[in-house]
Structure 1
Amino acid sequence: MLQKKSTEILVGLFVALGIGALFMLAMKVSNLADFSDERGYQITAQFQNTGGLKVRSPVTMAGVRVGRVAAIELDPISYNAKVTINMHPQFDNIPADTSASIFTAGLLGEQYISLDAGADDFYLQDGDELMLTQSALVLEQVIGQFLYSVAEGN
């Protein structure tokens, strides 16, 4: 009787650990694994096309995560996408003339923003806007332009 009870307890613990592992994997895949809410400072950037960029997408510099996308909205004046970025507080010495580009990572096509440092003596501060941006490359547009150029050549 005691042997059967201890076996049931071990099986129950194993199942609970498996469910916990699946939960952590789901959180990691959905970019919700970072429960800490570091405020840091916010900057903005405008892009003509954000492609599949989403809120909470990573923002990297030289492959290191330096922040996350906080909001994406349409600018009513320029009709560009205005992206608000939460920068981690330890990255407070990024030059003001830094440029931002939207790239695709991996096979699943997750979009992220990559920052390239400039050479300015002044650093980005809360509320600043990145002026040099490069929009996402949309595969459908590239294919359409290629097909159009092939059709024109014939």
Structure 2
Amino acid sequence: MKRVTLELIVGVFVMIGILCLAYLSIKLGKMELFGGNYYTITADFDSVSGLKAGASVEIAGVEVGRVDRIVLEQQTDQARVFLQIRDGIKLQSDVIAAVRTKGIIGDKFIKLKPGGSSTILAANGKIQDTESSVDLEELLSKYIHGSVD
């Protein structure tokens, strides 16, 4: 009888340990199991070189969302970036989205610069003003070949 009780107690502790490990893995991996509270907006860029799905979206250095996916817009030959922004974060209709590099390693992220408009960008809205990433190879090539103005 004591052996069954001991095995039951050990089993319960093992299950609690597994659940705690799963919870920590999800939180540290920044995964969302049930979708989270986000709304989606889009932005079109001439170049998003190096930007990947899952990259952070920041305002003033604070993460407010993630890049959901990136697709090629056939009509304009631009990259359309789908951004998931946390509920509660209100963006003005004249917000500016820019592709920036984080740190020495060169991870890309989207930096949002708030505008001054009183109109709020609705869910499934589109950011009109964007700044593409700087392509250092192209810039150096222009400098070397003398076509920099």
Indicate yes or no: 2:112 matched with 1:112.
no
Aligned residues: 124
Whether the 8 Å CA contact 1:38–1:89 is kept in 2: the answer is no
- Deviation of residue 45 (structure 1)? 0.3
- Decide which of 102, 111, 123 is 2:99's aligned counterpart: 102
- Deviation of residue 60 (structure 1)? 0.2
Indicate yes or no: 2:87 matched with 1:89.
yes
* 2:65 aligned residue: 67
* 1:16 aligned residue: none
Q: Distance in 2 between matches of 1:64 and 1:72?
A: 22
* 2:131 aligned residue: 134
Indicate yes or no: 2:57 matched with 1:52.
no
- Deviation of residue 122 (structure 1)? 1.0
Q: Distance in 2 between matches of 1:132 and 1:35?
A: 29
- Deviation of residue 121 (structure 1)? 0.8
- Deviation of residue 105 (structure 1)? 0.6
Q: Distance in 2 between matches of 1:41 and 1:95?
A: 14
Question: Which structure 2 residue ranges, 5 or more long, are not aligned?
Answer: 1-20
Which residue identity does 1:43 align to in structure 2? Answer: I
Which residue identity does 1:117 align to in structure 2? Answer: P
Give me the TM-score of the superposition, normalised by structure 2.
0.77
- Deviation of residue 90 (structure 1)? 2.1
Q: Any runs of at least 4 consecutive aligned residues in structure 1 with deviations exceeding 6 A, and if so which?
A: none
- Decide which of 31, 35, 42 is 1:35's aligned counterpart: 31
Q: Report the identity percentage.
A: 28
Whether the 8 Å CA contact 1:67–1:86 is kept in 2: the answer is yes
- Deviation of residue 132 (structure 1)? 0.4
Give me the TM-score of the superposition, normalised by structure 1.
0.74
Whether the 8 Å CA contact 1:39–1:86 is kept in 2: the answer is no
- Deviations 1:3-31 (CA, angstroms, capped at 9, x unpaired): xxxxxxxxxxxxxxxxx8xx96xx99xxx
What secondary structure, in the 3-state scheme, does the structure 2 residue paired with 1:46 have? Answer: strand
Which residue identity does 1:34 align to in structure 2? Answer: K
What secondary structure, in the 3-state scheme, does the structure 1 residue paired with 2:146 have? Answer: helix
Which residue identity does 1:53 align to in structure 2? Answer: L
Indicate yes or no: 2:135 matched with 1:125.
no
